[in-house]
């Protein structure tokens, strides 16, 4: 083999070796979407788990001019605050290798809670069934105190006014005890429970005070609504 051929072979060998040293095989490339997903997952792992609600996380878009970046070591993620977080939290993603770069990703946190909505238009005086009700998750900040989240509580109630499909149902739109309805009157005395029947003299919803007339005695009583067509009196 000529000296010229040997020289060329060695030149190619050293060139390939130098490329391996400059670009390590274990370097990982991070694009903008990857960084955003890492930030979302990092925040999600630190949020408490609420049984009656859930969190919806999204990352604000990064500047389109930010290039893809590589890092030879795992990224270090951190947040300057501790839970509970506000509606937006900033995550720092840092590469600690020779490249030494830092990227900040803003993560938006939206807390969602269940709300009962009507599945169809309900006319005034209509008895509400399970088929009329559905659960919809809404942002907590837009939920009013009078919104309901438990379907079983109001099944059998009657609508006091027209209720539009897809909108939340409130206690003010229904009566669990309606004027003129037959109701069960429950009286508790020394641990004993006595039941009798009566007639509601006014509309009422859960925990409201209404007047009812005892069918047997004809006596008018003040009672607390404790369910659909059911009231409780203290003796």
Note down pLDDT in tens along the chain; length 235 residues.
454 444 444 444 333 333 343 444 455 999 999 999 999 999 999 888 766 668 899 999 999 999 999 999 999 999 998 888 888 999 999 999 988 999 999 999 999 999 999 999 999 999 999 999 999 999 988 899 889 999 999 999 999 999 999 999 999 999 999 999 999 999 988 778 899 999 999 999 999 999 999 999 999 999 999 999 999 998 7
Residue 169 domain flag: yes
Q: What does the alpha-carbon distance between residue 184 and residue 232 come to, in Å, rounded to a whole number?
A: 8
Residues 100 and 39 grouped into a single domain = yes
Q: Can you tell me the distance from the alpha carbon of 191 to that of 193, in angstroms, rounded to the nearest whole number?
A: 7
Structural domain boundaries, residue 81: 23-111
In a domain, 6, yes or no: no
Is residue 15 included in any domain, yes or no? no
Rounded Cα distance, 204 and 201, in Å: 10
Say how many domains are in the chain: 3
């Amino acid at each position: 083999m000529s000296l010229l051929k040997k020289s060329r072979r060695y030149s190619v060998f050293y060139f390939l070796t130098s490329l391996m040293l400059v670009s390590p095989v274990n370097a990982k490339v991070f694009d903008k979407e990857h960084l955003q997903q890492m930030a979302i997952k990092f925040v999600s792992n630190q949020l408490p788990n609420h049984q009656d609600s859930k969190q919806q996380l999204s990352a604000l878009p990064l500047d389109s001019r930010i290039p893809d970046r590589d890092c030879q070591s795992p990224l270090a993620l951190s947040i300057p605050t501790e839970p509970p977080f506000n509606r937006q939290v900033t995550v720092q993603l840092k590469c600690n290798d020779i490249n030494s770069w830092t990227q900040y990703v803003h993560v938006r946190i939206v807390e969602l809670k269940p709300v009962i909505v009507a599945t169809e238009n309900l006319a005034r005086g209509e008895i509400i069934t399970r088929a009329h009700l559905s659960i919809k998750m809404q942002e907590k900040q837009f939920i009013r105190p009078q919104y309901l989240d438990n379907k079983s509580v109001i099944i059998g109630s009657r609508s006091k006014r027209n209720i539009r499909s897809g909108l939340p149902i409130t206690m003010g739109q229904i009566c669990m005890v309606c004027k003129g309805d037959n109701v069960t009157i429950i009286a508790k005395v020394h641990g004993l429970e006595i039941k009798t029947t009566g007639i509601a003299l006014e509309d009422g919803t859960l925990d409201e005070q209404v007047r009812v007339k005892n069918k047997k005695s004809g006596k008018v009583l003040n009672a607390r609504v404790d369910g659909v067509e059911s009231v409780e009196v203290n003796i």
